[in-house]
Protein backbone atom coordinates (compact mmCIF):
# COMPACT_ATOMS: atom_id res chain seq x y z
CA UNK A 1 0.00 0.00 0.00
CA UNK A 2 1.29 3.45 -0.91
CA UNK A 3 1.51 6.09 1.78
CA UNK A 4 -1.98 7.67 2.03
CA UNK A 5 -2.57 11.38 1.50
CA UNK A 6 -4.57 11.44 4.72
CA UNK A 7 -5.50 8.99 7.43
CA UNK A 8 -8.90 9.11 9.11
CA UNK A 9 -9.12 7.60 12.58
CA UNK A 10 -12.62 7.01 13.96
CA UNK A 11 -12.88 6.27 17.67
CA UNK A 12 -15.10 3.27 18.37
CA UNK A 13 -14.21 2.94 22.05
CA UNK A 14 -16.93 1.63 24.32
CA UNK A 15 -17.26 1.85 28.11
CA UNK A 16 -19.97 0.68 30.49
CA UNK A 17 -22.96 2.99 30.97
CA UNK A 18 -22.29 5.37 33.84
CA UNK A 19 -18.53 5.37 33.34
CA UNK A 20 -17.22 8.85 34.23
CA UNK A 21 -15.44 9.30 30.91
CA UNK A 22 -18.33 8.20 28.73
CA UNK A 23 -17.41 6.88 25.31
CA UNK A 24 -17.85 7.49 21.63
CA UNK A 25 -19.74 4.22 21.32
CA UNK A 26 -22.44 5.52 23.65
CA UNK A 27 -22.77 8.53 21.31
CA UNK A 28 -23.20 6.76 18.01
CA UNK A 29 -19.68 6.26 16.67
CA UNK A 30 -20.58 2.95 15.03
CA UNK A 31 -22.88 4.77 12.62
CA UNK A 32 -20.12 7.30 11.93
CA UNK A 33 -17.57 4.60 11.14
CA UNK A 34 -20.10 2.75 8.98
CA UNK A 35 -20.86 5.93 7.04
CA UNK A 36 -17.14 6.46 6.38
CA UNK A 37 -16.79 2.85 5.24
CA UNK A 38 -19.70 3.16 2.84
CA UNK A 39 -18.44 6.48 1.47
CA UNK A 40 -14.90 5.15 0.99
CA UNK A 41 -16.33 2.19 -0.88
CA UNK A 42 -18.82 4.17 -2.97
CA UNK A 43 -16.28 6.84 -3.92
CA UNK A 44 -13.30 4.49 -4.30
CA UNK A 45 -11.15 6.47 -1.86
CA UNK A 46 -8.99 3.56 -0.72
CA UNK A 47 -6.16 4.24 -3.17
CA UNK A 48 -5.41 7.68 -1.72
CA UNK A 49 -6.81 7.68 1.82
CA UNK A 50 -6.73 5.40 4.86
CA UNK A 51 -9.57 4.74 7.30
CA UNK A 52 -9.08 3.04 10.66
CA UNK A 53 -11.40 2.38 13.57
CA UNK A 54 -9.53 2.86 16.81
CA UNK A 55 -9.74 2.93 20.58
CA UNK A 56 -9.95 6.14 22.59
CA UNK A 57 -8.14 9.11 21.04
CA UNK A 58 -8.76 11.61 23.82
CA UNK A 59 -11.80 13.87 24.03
CA UNK A 60 -14.36 11.25 25.09
CA UNK A 61 -16.84 13.71 26.52
CA UNK A 62 -17.35 15.42 23.17
CA UNK A 63 -17.43 12.37 20.90
CA UNK A 64 -17.94 10.80 18.50
CA UNK A 65 -14.33 11.77 17.79
CA UNK A 66 -12.63 11.66 14.40
CA UNK A 67 -8.95 12.50 13.92
CA UNK A 68 -7.41 13.29 10.54
CA UNK A 69 -3.67 13.10 9.89
CA UNK A 70 -1.19 14.38 8.83
CA UNK A 71 -2.79 17.66 9.99
CA UNK A 72 -3.84 16.31 13.38
CA UNK A 73 -7.30 17.84 13.12
CA UNK A 74 -9.70 16.50 15.73
CA UNK A 75 -13.41 16.60 15.02
CA UNK A 76 -15.91 16.18 17.82
CA UNK A 77 -19.62 15.53 17.97
CA UNK A 78 -19.43 14.02 14.49
CA UNK A 79 -22.60 12.49 13.07
CA UNK A 80 -23.08 10.20 10.09
CA UNK A 81 -24.52 13.16 8.17
CA UNK A 82 -21.19 15.01 8.50
CA UNK A 83 -19.08 12.40 6.76
CA UNK A 84 -19.66 13.68 3.23
CA UNK A 85 -18.58 17.17 4.27
CA UNK A 86 -15.39 15.92 5.94
CA UNK A 87 -14.52 13.94 2.82
CA UNK A 88 -15.37 16.71 0.34
CA UNK A 89 -13.81 19.60 2.24
CA UNK A 90 -10.94 18.13 4.23
CA UNK A 91 -9.82 15.00 2.43
CA UNK A 92 -10.38 16.17 -1.15
CA UNK A 93 -10.01 19.98 -0.92
CA UNK A 94 -7.58 20.10 2.01
CA UNK A 95 -9.85 22.49 3.96
CA UNK A 96 -10.64 21.32 7.51
CA UNK A 97 -14.29 21.68 8.51
CA UNK A 98 -14.14 24.41 11.15
CA UNK A 99 -17.68 23.91 12.47
CA UNK A 100 -16.80 20.33 13.48
CA UNK A 101 -13.32 20.99 14.84
CA UNK A 102 -12.89 20.12 18.53
CA UNK A 103 -12.50 23.23 20.68
CA UNK A 104 -9.02 24.09 21.90
CA UNK A 105 -10.13 23.22 25.43
CA UNK A 106 -10.35 19.53 24.54
CA UNK A 107 -7.67 19.19 21.81
Using the minimum distance from each CB to ligand FES, give the nearer residue, 43 or 107.
107
Q: Output the smallest distance, CB 80 to ligand FES, in A.
A: 16
Mapping DSSP to helix (H, G, I), strand (E, B) and coil, where does residue 88 land? Answer: helix
Q: Is residue 73 close enough to count as binding ligand FES by CB under 6 A?
A: no
Binding segment for ligand FES among 40-48, 58-66, 77-85, 99-107 (CB under 6 A)? 58-66
Q: Is residue 33 close enough to count as binding ligand FES by CB under 6 A?
A: no
Q: Is residue 66 close enough to count as binding ligand FES by CB under 6 A?
A: no
CB crowding 47-78: b at 16 or more within 10 Å, else e: eebbbebbebbebbebbbbbbbeeeebbbbbb
List interacting residues with ligand FES (CB under 6 A). 11, 13, 23-24, 56-60, 63, 65
Amino acid sequence: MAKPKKHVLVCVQGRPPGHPRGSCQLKGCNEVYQAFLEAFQARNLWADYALTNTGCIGPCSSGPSVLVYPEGVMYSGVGAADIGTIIDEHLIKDQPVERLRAPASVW
